[in-house]
Amino acid sequence: MAQLLGLLLLSFFVTAVLMVPFIDFLYRMRISKTDEGKRVDTLNQFTPITARLLSYKKKVPIGAGALVVAVTTLLSLWSYGLLSVEARPAELFIVIFTMLSFALLGLYDDIKKNFHKNDSGFFGLRWRHKLIIQVLVGAFIGLYFWLILGYDFVNIHWFGTLNMGVLFVPLAAFVVVAFANAYNITDGLDGLSSGVLLICLVAFTILAAQLLHPSLALFLAVWIGSLIAFLYFNIYPARVELGDTGALAFGATMAVVGLLTGKIFALTIIGGVFIVEVASSLIQMLSKHFWGRKFFTVSPLHLWFMYKGWEEPKVVTRFWLIALLFAVFGLWLGVIK
């Protein structure tokens, strides 16, 4: 435990020291959030209600996710080699591979948004192209779990262990892609997604310690420390935002962490806020596609609450509280016999 707390503090300190010059670098490069007035949905249609709700937000630089990913990856590898932890390099590899691969996908999209603004497509890459790449990477992750790590089962509390064989591969791919996009959708208000993720990661750290999973706990401690430093600059009013680089990487990596614990049902509960957010957007998209009208006045759910008159800090803090309840409930399901 002392090692984990020390790594958390070290990761926080390193990220905090680097964050200010990194923000200055993003300002100089003019890497900023896309104008809300030009926002379009996955059907390439303008979203005037969303633009109006977020019109007060100043354009702030995006891309801090790249710094958090870099610090988490490098410090994890350094700590893993330095400290005497149970050797599970195959598991550490898939966690870091997931974070880096989805970060690169998000980074490409962030670059296109800022330096190729006139290119066609959904804010850079077309939505379907991004999804295809995510599915391919997710399929590789699922195959790695099945062939290398030997995961072919799902633990469902009160029902026991379900052996899935090769079907575990598409299930793992779906979970990874779903959480990557769920996080990206939730990442819309200052401090919302990163605060919810921080709560989820604390729950997974407790679960990893309970399951005697030291290598995973080490990675989570480093990630939490870096995330706390980022959140300091991301809470309302934000000085910097993650961008797709961090959003896709964080969502996918959180899914892999949940899969490594073998508690996929607990993962869906602990990450309940992300599930609700992506579900509201999916319902809205299907409603507009098949019925030609909106199910919600505006989606995802955090924007609907703003449409109802809630101020941004109120929405964020209430979502944090809900995330805390989800995390406690999911953790309870994960540790009870």
In a domain, 42, yes or no: no
Q: Which domain holds residue 216?
A: 2-31+60-335
The rounded percent of the chain whose pLDDT value lies above 70 is 88
**So what's the pLDDT on residue 337?**
55
Beta bridge partners of 160: 156
- The predicted-structure confidence for 154-180, as pLDDT tens digits, reads as follows 877 667 778 888 999 999 999 999 999
Confidence label for 124 from pLDDT (cuts 50, 70 and 90): very low
**So what's the pLDDT on residue 326?**
96
Q: How many CA atoms lie within 13 A of 69 on its CB side?
A: 30
Which residue from 334, 222, 324, 227 is spatially nearest to 273, judged by alpha carbons? 324
Q: Crossing angle of helices 168-186/127-147, nearest 10°? A: 140
Q: Flag the least confident range among 52-56, 146-150, 221-225, 316-320.
A: 52-56
Report how many domains make up the chain.
1
In a domain, 46, yes or no: no
The rounded percent of the chain whose pLDDT value lies above 90 is 52
- Name the pTM for this structure: 0.90
Q: Is the pLDDT of residue 89 over 50?
A: yes
- The predicted-structure confidence for 272-319, as pLDDT tens digits, reads as follows 999 999 999 888 888 877 777 778 788 789 998 998 889 999 999 999
Q: Is the pLDDT of residue 192 over 80?
A: yes
Confidence label for 122 from pLDDT (cuts 50, 70 and 90): very low
In a domain, 307, yes or no: yes
Looking at per-residue pLDDT, the higher value among 119 and 202 belongs to: 202
Looking at per-residue pLDDT, the higher value among 216 and 48 belongs to: 216
Confidence label for 46 from pLDDT (cuts 50, 70 and 90): low
Confidence label for 121 from pLDDT (cuts 50, 70 and 90): very low
In a domain, 82, yes or no: yes
**So what's the pLDDT on residue 226?**
97
In a domain, 69, yes or no: yes
Three-state SS across the chain? CHHHHHHHHHHHHHHHHHHHHHHHHHHHHCCECCCHHHCECCCCCECHHHHHHCCCCCCCEECHHHHHHHHHHHHHHHHHHHCCCCCCHHHHHHHHHHHHHHHHHHHHHHHHHHHCCCCCCCCCCCHHHHHHHHHHHHHHHHHHHHHCCCCCEEEECCCEEEECHHHHHHHHHHHHHHHHHHHHHHCCCCCHHHHHHHHHHHHHHHHHHHCCCHHHHHHHHHHHHHHHHHHHHHCCCCCCECHHHHHHHHHHHHHHHHHHCCCHHHHHHHCHHHHHHHHHHHHHHHHHHHCCCCCCCCCCHHHHHHHCCCCHHHHHHHHHHHHHHHHHHHHHHHHCC
- Segment 135-154 mean pLDDT: 93
Looking at per-residue pLDDT, the higher value among 153 and 25 belongs to: 25
In a domain, 52, yes or no: no
- The span from the CA of 325 to the CA of 322, in Å, is 5
In a domain, 216, yes or no: yes
- The span from the CA of 297 to the CA of 303, in Å, is 9
In a domain, 54, yes or no: no
